[in-house]
């Protein structure tokens, strides 16, 4: 087995050991087996392929989540801008725009399985209902 392949395998085993994917004594046995008892040159778990993929996935997930939030705020901003430009002073239409935004957030939270959108949409609808009840009474 070539040295590069041994390095990859031992780094993966160290990653498993560090993250407790296998019991420690299994990992020690596998490292001893693949390095043929000469594992003085310990390879860190950060060089593992799984570790690199996990890191790349986290960065991509954060970027996608940030994009979703940015789109939601942009839609809210556009709704409020439309209201101020064309319907200023008509509170019923403002409430309607806010309800539509909250329903879209709730729908996005359900479809995309994003808890923060579901909570935001639900909390927004509850606050709008409380506002309506307070203005009527």
Write out pLDDT tens, residues 111-137: 999 999 999 999 999 999 999 999 888
Cα angle 29, 48, 53 (rounded to 5 degrees) comes to 140
DSSP code, position 100: H
Average pLDDT over residues 37-50: 57
Q: 39 lies in which domain range?
A: 3-47
Same domain, 40 and 81: no
The structure's pTM equals 0.58
Beta strands (DSSP E) in the chain are none
Same domain, 67 and 132: yes
Does residue 54 belong to any structural domain of this protein? no
How many domains are there within the chain?
A: 2
Does residue 118 belong to any structural domain of this protein? yes
What per-residue confidence (pLDDT) applies to 34?
80
Q: In this structure, how many other beta carbons lie within 10 angstroms of the beta carbon of residue 13? A: 25
What is the maximum span of the chain, computed from C-alpha positions, in angstroms?
A: 81
Q: Residues 6 or more apart from 113 whose CB is under 8 A from it?
A: none
- Does position 39 have pLDDT exceeding 70, yes or no? no
Does residue 53 belong to any structural domain of this protein? no
Write out pLDDT tens, residues 50-71: 666 666 677 888 899 999 999 9
Same domain, 65 and 35: no
């Amino acid at each position: 087995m070539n040295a590069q392949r041994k390095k990859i395998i031992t780094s993966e085993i160290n990653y498993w050991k560090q993250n407790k994917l296998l019991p420690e004594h299994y990992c020690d046995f596998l490292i001893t087996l693949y390095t043929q008892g000469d594992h003085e040159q310990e390879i860190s778990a950060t060089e593992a392929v799984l570790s690199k993929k996990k890191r790349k996935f986290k960065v991509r997930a954060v970027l996608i989540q940030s994009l979703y939030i940015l789109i939601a705020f942009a839609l809210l901003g556009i709704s409020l801008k439309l209201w101020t430009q064309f319907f200023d002073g008509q509170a019923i239409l403002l409430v309607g725009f806010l309800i539509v935004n909250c329903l879209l957030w709730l729908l996005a939270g359900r479809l995309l399985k994003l808890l923060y959108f579901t909570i935001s949409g639900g909390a927004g609808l509850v606050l709008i209902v409380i506002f309506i009840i307070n203005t009527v009474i």
